[in-house]
């Protein structure tokens, strides 16, 4: 099932995508694609619905019908750094001996096709296509063998990053990761049962039609079950929390010469089976 949120910013309503690519309304069944609606029993109830009997929402999704972030009320936006060996190499860094965890602020979350705002004074705003894991059943000290039972589904994430803020300023990576609009999520949350092998998903990103990233989750260093178990040692995971699992090579920082985003450009990115995002880059005045 493909769950989504549609409508103007701040007024998004819950919905799902039918087999014809139309949005069907879910407001009569859940208040939002968030929190308790992502628990296993709730997902099962939604999957049991006759989708073709649900009200059709006017408009074409990602055209004249805006989609918001596919998860609402996100409590934690957890990110994993240097989780592809070839991306670590292009960054000039060693593969870490255990997962690198950092955060994106939830105020960075935006819709999959909303504009990306380059922060004032930024000269190194970069892109990162990533597989997002949405937690359904929460927990702490989750066993790796049980980890996938805690997953509601998967989604596309663009981990937009300001490299000067992240690397060259004092402090942690977080200040370069959580700027407003730096966390597009969606277009939809694809429930776990629809993804046959999350360890073999192709993911890619283009800027103005030029493909910079073209990789596969097969080359992730630390796989999804390990990441869930690992993160749950340091924090309890809650329904609706998101783990962004790292990016393959091809980021702007890794280009020779380095290449960063500029106002007026367009990013397009996607993951097989999870949909596509398109974002215009805008300079903040």
- Pairing state of beta strands 266-271 and 275-283? antiparallel
Query: Which is it for strands 202-207 and 266-271: parallel, antiparallel or unpaired?
Result: antiparallel
Q: Is 44 a member of any domain?
A: no
Q: What is the pLDDT of residues 81-138, one digit of tens each?
A: 989 988 877 878 788 899 999 999 999 999 999 999 999 999 999 999 999 999 999 9
Residue 98 in any domain: the answer is: yes
pTM, entire model: 0.96
Q: How confident is the model at residue 169 (pLDDT cuts 50, 70, 90)?
A: confident
Number of helices followed by number of strands (H, E) in the chain: 4, 18
Distances (CA, A) of 272 to 130, 138, 196, 205: 12, 26, 11, 12
Asked whether residue 45 is domain-assigned, the answer is: no
Question: Quick check: is 22 in a domain?
Answer: no
Give CA separation, 174 vs 162, 163, 177, 184, 251, in Å. Answer: 10, 11, 5, 16, 18
Q: Is the residue at 9 inside a domain?
A: no
Rounded to 5 degrees, φ, ψ at 144 are: -55, -35
- Domain assignment present for residue 57? The answer is no
Task: Find residue 275's DSSP bridge partners.
Answer: 271
**Domains identified in the chain, total number:** 1
Whether 33 is covered by a domain: the verdict is no
The pLDDT value given to residue 17: 98
- pLDDT value, residue 87: 80
Looking at residue 210, which CATH number applies to its domain?
3.90.850.10
| Domain range for 164 | 72-283
Question: pLDDT for 172-215, tens place per residue?
Answer: 888 999 999 999 999 999 999 999 999 999 999 999 999 999 99
Report yes or no on 4 lying in a domain: no
Closest CA to 81 of 279, 239, 253, 278: 253
Q: What is the pLDDT of residue 185?
A: 98
Between the alpha carbon of residue 161 and those of residues 12, 95, 98, 216, the distances in Å are 26, 20, 22, 21
Instruction: Considering only CA atoms, give the Rg of the chain.
Output: 18
């Amino acid at each position: 099932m493909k769950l989504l949120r549609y409508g103007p910013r701040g007024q998004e309503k819950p919905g799902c995508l039918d087999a014809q690519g139309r949005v069907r309304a879910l407001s009569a069944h859940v208040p939002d694609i968030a929190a308790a609606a992502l628990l296993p029993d709730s997902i099962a109830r939604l999957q049991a619905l006759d989708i073709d009997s649900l009200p059709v929402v006017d408009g074409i999704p990602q055209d004249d019908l805006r989609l918001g972030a596919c998860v609402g009320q996100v409590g934690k936006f957890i990110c994993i750094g240097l989780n592809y060996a070839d991306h670590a190499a292009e960054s000039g860094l060693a593969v870490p001996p255990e997962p690198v965890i950092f955060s994106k602020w939830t105020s960075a979350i935006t819709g999959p096709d909303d504009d990306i705002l380059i922060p004032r004074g930024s000269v190194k705003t970069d892109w990162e296509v990533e597989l997002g894991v949405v937690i359904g059943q929460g927990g702490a000290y989750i066993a790796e063998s049980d980890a996938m039972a805690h997953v509601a589904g998967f989604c596309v994430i663009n981990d937009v990053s300001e490299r000067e803020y992240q690397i060259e300023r004092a402090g942690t990576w977080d200040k370069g990761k959580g700027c407003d609009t730096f966390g597009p999520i969606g277009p939809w949350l694809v429930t776990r049962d629809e993804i046959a092998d999350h360890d073999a998903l192709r993911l890619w990103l283009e800027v103005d039609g030029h493909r910079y990233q073209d990789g596969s989750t097969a080359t992730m260093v630390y796989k999804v079950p390990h990441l869930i178990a690992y993160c749950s040692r340091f924090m309890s995971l809650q329904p609706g929390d998101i783990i962004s699992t790292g990016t393959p090579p091809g980021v702007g920082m890794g280009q020779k010469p380095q290449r960063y985003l500029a106002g007026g450009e367009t990013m397009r990115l996607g993951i097989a089976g999870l949909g596509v995002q398109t974002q215009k880059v805008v300079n903040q005045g």
